Structure 1
Amino acid sequence: MSIRPFDVVVIGTGPGGEGAAMKCTKANLRVCVIEDRSAVGGACTHTATIPSKTLRHAIQRLVDLRNLPGHRAAAGHGPTFRELVQTAGSVTNRQAGMREGFYERNRVEVVEGRARFVDAHTVEVIQPRGATDTLTAKHFVIATGSRPYHPPEIDFNHPRVFDSDTILGMIEMPQSMTIYGAGVIGCEYASMFRMLGVKVNLVNTREKLLSFLDDEIIDALSYHLRDLGCIIRHNEEIERVETADDGVILDLKSGKRLKTDVLLWANGRSGNTVDMGLEALGIAIDSRGNLKVNDAYQTAVPHIHAVGDVVGFPSLASAAYDQGRFAGTQIVEGRLEHRLVQDIPTGIYTSPEISSLGRNERELTAAGVPYEVGQAQFKSLARAQITGRTVGMLKILFHRDTLELLGIHCFGDNAAEIIHIGQAIMSQKGEANTLLYFVNTTFNYPTMAEAYRVAALNGLNRVF
């Protein structure tokens, strides 16, 4: 058995692993990446972000088509669920092929298989057909991502029980669905399946939906999910799950029994750290499989880094890529070049979308910050009226005395795109980061970007 040496071995080819690998190989280090799938890209490309957002887009296009004046959809002649999912498959394949090209062009070797540490500088890779590859390296980056959390008492092998990784493999469209867990994933899928006409129970273990958001945005999301027809049940906790040939019964501790065609479990994720040999190296793993790292993304063993979902918060593809680059900089240069920015925009792909940046009203009130609010209702914007996407608003929170931007919250079509205009201004220093930028800047008309000017003028009217 041969042992192959590298400067850096990266375990996982999602955004975090890719960011680290590209940073290191461009510094002329010999880099190898290990991927347990047959194609690179990680969960982001194959089971999570890309396929779910592509499916959402396909569903939205279908709904738009059905709402066109004069359009009459014949009952039973719409696309099947499998046909909608096939759209996601084509995008996934293109993304994976593109990323494969990145590694080839940058001379990064890709090894397929599952990695396990033998010692602090050696990993064994068990390949799909059972062969073993042994790699040594001066540095390692663990970017293995996460998977849906599976309580042991629930039978996830049952054909009517799904998680966020397996739901896209569902064969037939159900008539009814219970979604347990009303976090980002649960809310997104509740929105998607309700748009397809599925009767949805959304079971929330907490008092509110997505409590990290601004209260006004939470209220708007709750209203529109209910307006779609979702039944939202707050402050509920699972008692047990009963499976049968014709459906799934979710028994709640409150005494409620919810029987639907399928159950989608969307309550938490676990880091992919099982059987990697990390404990023997002195690297602790918490109860959800996550690894603790310092600001340079080093674990308790300094030459072993960890990035992305496997380190927990913020568990975003966008942040994972930056974390990988920062870990790569520490490996290449021995220093932390940048820290992950404090204000990372959230992008939640419900219908309508939600995106948020900075502090919300609840946080500013608790901190005693004298703030004011500027709002633009989408229904008043010419662009929104043209597209027919009039649901939503842009909300700017700013300091009442200095006009400094403190938070931006958007609910509506293309919110995840619109937020970046505000992000660019919030990142500026001093007078450049004030409400006056939006007042004194000329925006294209008609555009959704104009919402910033409308909201800024609305806010100024409250303080002058």
Structure 2
Amino acid sequence: MEVQASLVGRMSNQGGGEALPKAPRTRHYRVAFIIRRKVKYFNIKAGFVNEHTVCGVAKDGKETLLSAEHIVIATGGRPRYPTHIEGALEYGITSDDIFWLKESPGKTLVVGASYVALECAGFLTGLGLDTTVMIRSIPLRGFDQQMSSLVTEYMASQGTRFLRGCTPSRVRRRPDGQLQVTWEDLTSGKEDMGTFNTVLWATGRIPETRSLNLEKAGVNVNPNSQKILVDAQETTSIPHIYAIGDVAEGRPELTPTAIMAGKLLAQRLCGQSSDVMDYDNVPTTVFTPLEYGCVGLSEEEAVARHGEEHVEVYHAYYKPLEFTVAERDASQCYIKMVCLRKPPQLVLGLHFLGPNAGEVTQGFALGIKCGASYVQVMRTVGIHPTCAEEVAKLRISKRSGLDPTVTGC
């Protein structure tokens, strides 16, 4: 593991030479940018010595001690291997590996139902590969489940196979080189098996904390998740040590979120601002073959928080212009806006399934972040002919029971 810890404040180099280690080719431009910004870059694997000092070891074994007034931990996470499954580590790969393959993965089994699992399965199917997704329980846990179902339905219509309610128990290499996977059907309790060229594990991620020697600095972690415990200021149990991004407990595992949290932390440490990261209404998009963008609460979360009688959901099935021209199936293109029922009906969440969902969601996220109401959205003039204009035309509520299918322009 290579720890990318940021050292903020007055820093002393107690053991290393002045020359910077040569960075890998993939980091060339980033490192060059860092150097131009007069930030000293060390390509080392680091761990804490005490609460103010880390020790880094370079590839040649050379050790470097670095001390700082403030230390920021931003080591992120890596895909998890299900080590309890026989053959998982020996014969499987993760999303980190698939882009390094020198040959086609061929017939692929993707185990998991996270956005990583569905995105990988989606592009593998798009490349014409025989792709199967094995789901133990529900797809896209933590996302709106109606939208998640539409995502997987569209993927299935495009050729991705789904094994639902199944969990793998063993992976073995056959004499012909193929992988034989054995799994249990959790509904029937029966065992089944199939053969694949590649098994891709997408069963979650683990934070890069185990080799940081956090105990030497007194930094507390959640013993179950191994994520670092932080407060609203990104501060750990040690006041001058901070943690941002995937490595921190309770934070969204999203790169743009970590970047913004890091910028705000740097501004606070430099005395330029007192603003803290607001983790409410963070937009994101799942880049499956039919993109799913969302911001705010899911319908389930809104009902749980406010009660079904206080929530109004406006929705529509629509057909994008580019689908009409190409005569593509648009039956899963769907939008819903989750609002408070009481006027002016504050928007609690927006869910968009269709082409360029990320672009659409990014625009509406600003309004929702600013406290937009349903009334304000309905007063917004749509741009024709776009998919985004359908958001400003959501007139039919689920409560009404009327058909939400858009029938004209």
Tell me the equivalent position of 2:122. 191
Which letter maps to 2:338? L
For the residue of structure 2 that corresponds to 1:109, the secondary structure is coil
- The amino acid that maps onto 2:73 is I
Residue of structure 1 in register with 2:301 after alignment: 363
- Amino acid corresponding to residue 231 of structure 1 in structure 2: R
The Cα offsets for residues 37-87 of structure 1, whole Å up to 9 and x where unpaired, read as 9359xxxxxxxxxxxxxxxxxxxxxxxxxxxxxxxxxxxxxxxxxxxxxxx
2-structure distance, mates of 1:37, 1:378 = 52
Contact in 2 for aligned 1:319/1:340 (Cα 8 Å): no
Matches for 1:236-275 after TM superposition, within 5 Å: 236-244=166-174, 246-254=177-185, 255-275=191-211
SS at structure 2 position matched to 1:450? helix
CA contact (8 A) 1:307 1:324 kept: yes
CA apart distance, 1:393: 2.2
213, 217, 220: which is aligned to 2:147?
217
Residue number among 396, 400, 407 corresponding to 2:349 in the alignment: 407
Matched residues in 2 for 1:270 and 1:164: separation? 13
- Note if 1:308 corresponds to 2:245: yes
Aligned to 1:44: none
Bigger mean CA offset, 408-417 vs 306-315: 306-315
Cα distance in 2 for partners of 1:398, 1:441 equals 16
Report the Cα distance in structure 2 between the residues aligned to 1:265 and 1:390, rounded to whole angstroms: 30
The answer as to 2:229 corresponding to 1:292 is yes
Residues in 2 aligned to 1:37 and 1:393: alpha-carbon distance in whole angstroms: 49
Q: How many residues align?
A: 381
Q: 1:102 offset after TM fit, Å?
A: 3.3
Where do residues 118-267 of structure 1 align in structure 2 (5 Å cutoff)? Answer: 118-152=49-83, 155=87, 158=90, 160-206=91-137, 208-244=138-174, 246-254=177-185, 255-267=191-203
What amino acid maps onto 1:163 in structure 2?
T
In 1, Cα distance between equivalents of 2:65 and 2:76: 22
Partner of residue 38 from structure 2, selected from 95, 102, 107: 107
Partner Cα distance (1:244, 1:190) in 2: 24
* Cα distance change, pair 256–38 in 1 and its aligned pair in 2 (3 A): farther
Give yes or no for contact 1:355–1:409 (8 Å, CA) kept in 2.
Answer: yes
Alignment of 1:9-88 (within 5 A): 12=4, 29=9, 38-39=23-24
Q: CA deviation at 1:351?
A: 0.7
Distance (whole Å) between structure 2 residues aligned to residue 168 and residue 155 of structure 1 = 21
Deviation of 1:282 after TM superposition, in Å, equals: 2.3
CA drift of 1:270 comes to: 1.1
Structure 1: how far apart are the matches of 2:261 and 2:24? 22
Is the alpha carbon distance of 1:37 and 1:343 closer, same or farther for their aligned partners in structure 2, counting shifts above 3 Å?
farther
**Structure-1 separation of matches of 2:171 and 2:399:** 54
The one-letter code matched in structure 2 to 1:216 is Q
In 1, the alpha carbon distance for the partners of 2:76 and 2:324 equals 41
CA contact (8 A) 2:74 2:245 kept: yes
Deviation at 1:371, TM superposition (A): 2.6
Structure 2 residue matching 1:99: 3-state secondary structure: helix
Shift of 1:31: 6.9
Letter in 2 for 1:348: V
CA drift of 1:335 comes to 8.1
Matched, 1:424 2:366: yes
- Structure 2 letter corresponding to 1:38: A
Q: What percent of counterpart residues are identical?
A: 23
Mapped contact 2:88–2:171 kept (Cα < 8 A): no
Q: Unpaired segments of 5 or more residues in structure 1?
A: 1-9, 41-92
- Structure 1 214/36 Cα, relative in aligned 2: closer, same or farther at 3 Å? farther
* Preserved CA contact (<8 Å) 1:375 1:454: no
**Hey, what's the Cα distance between the residues in 2 that align with 1:152 and 1:447?**
47
Rounded to whole Å, the distance in 2 between the matches of 1:157 and 1:399 is: 47
Per-residue deviation, 1:137: 0.6
Instruction: Report the Cα distance in structure 2 between the residues aligned to 1:239 and 1:157, rounded to whole angstroms.
Output: 13
The match for 1:342 among 255, 260, 280 is 280
Confirm whether residue 323 of structure 1 aligns to residue 261 of structure 2. yes
The two structures, once aligned, show a CA RMSD in angstroms of: 3.2
- Measure, in 2, the Cα distance between the counterparts of 1:127 and 1:197: 42
Q: Secondary structure at the match of 1:111?
A: coil
Post-superposition Cα deviations, 1:351-381, rounded to whole Å, max 9, x if no partner, equal: 11111112222233333142323234331x5
Q: For residues 450 and 259 of structure 1, do their structure 2 counterparts lie closer, same or farther at Cα, with a shift above 3 Å needed?
A: same
**1:79 corresponds to which residue?**
none
Question: Within 1, Cα distance between the matches of 2:399 and 2:165?
Answer: 40
Shift of 1:299: 1.4
Deviation at 1:118, TM superposition (A): 1.4
Work out the CA distance in 1 between the residues paired with 2:12 and 2:382: 47
Which AA in structure 2 matches 1:290?
Answer: K
Q: Deviations over 1:391-428 (max 9, x none)?
A: 31222122233122121001111111111222111122
CA pair 427-174 structure 1, distance change in 2 beyond 3 A: closer
CA distance in 2, matches of 1:331, 1:387: 54
Partner SS for 2:234: coil
Higher relative contact order (CA 8 A, sep 6+): 1
With the length of structure 1 as denominator, give the TM-score of the two structures.
0.74
**Superposed displacement of residue 322, structure 1:** 1.8
* Code of the aligned partner of 1:215: Q
Instruction: Please give the TM-score of this superposition, normalised by the length of structure 2.
Output: 0.83
- In 2, Cα distance between the equivalents of 1:213 and 1:36? 42
Partners of 1:36 and 1:349 in 2: how far apart? 36
1:336 deviates by 5.1
Q: Which residue of 2 aligns with 1:72?
A: none
Partner of 2:215: 279
Unpaired runs of at least 5, structure 2: 14-19, 186-190, 402-409
Q: Which residue of 2 aligns with 1:45?
A: none
Counterpart CA distance in 2 for 1:32 and 1:413 is 51
Deviation at 1:384, TM superposition (A): 5.3
32 and 346 in structure 1: CA distance in 2 versus 1, 3 angstrom threshold? farther
